[in-house]
A and B are shown apart, each in its own frame.
Chain A
């Protein structure tokens, strides 16, 4: 059980570090979007869409949608 009051001065032993890592890191069901082969620039997408004769699907967010948004 993680101490909800932890702050500076708290010793984080290896077991606690592991518990925190497991709580913070994303679970597999939260990473479904990573199965999509995202390109990272519109010019590259437009060029490929022309070549492969497909429409472009753009995910545009303030901050990079593939990271901090």
Chain B
């Protein structure tokens, strides 16, 4: 129904709900006609499903968490769309002007995009878990890692002889650890703070060749640790946790030495996670408990081209300088180059 009867679009609402550009104003114009009526303020989440006419007239909106209510919303939207069509005086032929795309950038040319999926791993049979937390054990989430051409090369030993090894550079590992080894399974945690990477060893070793392909074994360990304190997102509770990720790494990759790119990158990071953040729904299930991350090359579908979650802006400190990709904390995503 969505594909045939609607034009489907998905966007991060964080900027839309607060920005003062035309797109932000247009979105909020739609939102306040629906379930955000009387509640639209910059700090309030506008999450939800919105059906609307191209001129900004709302047809239906809500923030349902189940298929049945979503279907009800769609049916209501189509009913109102039919009424709208019967009254042509309501229809504008032009979309509102001034709307422009909010692209945060594109994957770096010549580099690589990794998809990282995170999910809880099975717990010990006698491990305690509160009853209201059981439903979350099926949750999973994913993000993207953008690698520059030099990052990709850093994953490959300089010598491609069988047995040759390379310890991956700390600069790249810090980025992967702090921005992408976050407990995202249930929501949006903060990035790991500076100094939280206590140990991160990652070694790529040439194990064989297959024509132009050089096969790599990737092994390592990671230990992240930091103390966090925050106010609960729903109740007036102040939480403190010693957050930790203590995990092993293993997997394989294939490097095409003629084309100079990765043809396969399949590694996992698996270990114990401890702690919580304000927005990752772990305060009642802080562990320690097992978690897994799977990294692989992303494809070209729209959902594989979304920017890394932490990448929120391109900062142009000076018109003569190359724009710098910055994270939600204002740090350069690619580090100091």
Contact = CB atoms under 8 A, between A and B. Distances in A.
Contacts, number: 247
A36 B302 CA distance: 11
Interface residues of B, number: 87
A57 B8 contact: yes
Contact of B302 (A6, A40, A42, A68): A40
Contact of B23 (A10, A42, A49): A42
A28 interface: no
A67 B124 CA distance: 29
Nearest to B291: A24
A60 B7 CA distance: 14
B268 A24 contact: yes
Contact of B101 (A6, A12, A44): A44
Nearest to A17: B250
A13 B250 contact: yes
A35 to B, nearest CB: 8
B228 interface: no
B13 A60 contact: yes
Interface residues of A, number: 55
B154 to A, nearest CB: 21
Given A24-B268, A46-B95, A41 B184 contact: no
A64 B12 contact: yes
B285 to A, nearest CB: 15
B27 to A, nearest CB: 7
A58 B306 contact: no
A24 B141 CA distance: 10
Contact of A8 (B124, B248, B305): B248
A42 B292 CA distance: 34
A63 B16 contact: no
A23 to B, nearest CB: 6
Contact of B9 (A23, A39, A63): A39
Interface string A15-57: 0110011011110001000111111111111111110101111
B26 A42 contact: yes
B247 interface: yes
Q: Which 8 A-B pairs have the closest CB atoms?
A: A12-B250, A45-B9, A57-B6, A8-B221, A66-B303, A60-B13, A68-B309, A43-B99
17 contacts: A2-B122, A4-B290, A5-B272, A8-B223, A25-B117, A25-B294, A41-B9, A44-B9, A46-B95, A46-B96, A55-B52, A55-B54, A57-B9, A61-B47, A63-B14, A67-B143, A67-B303
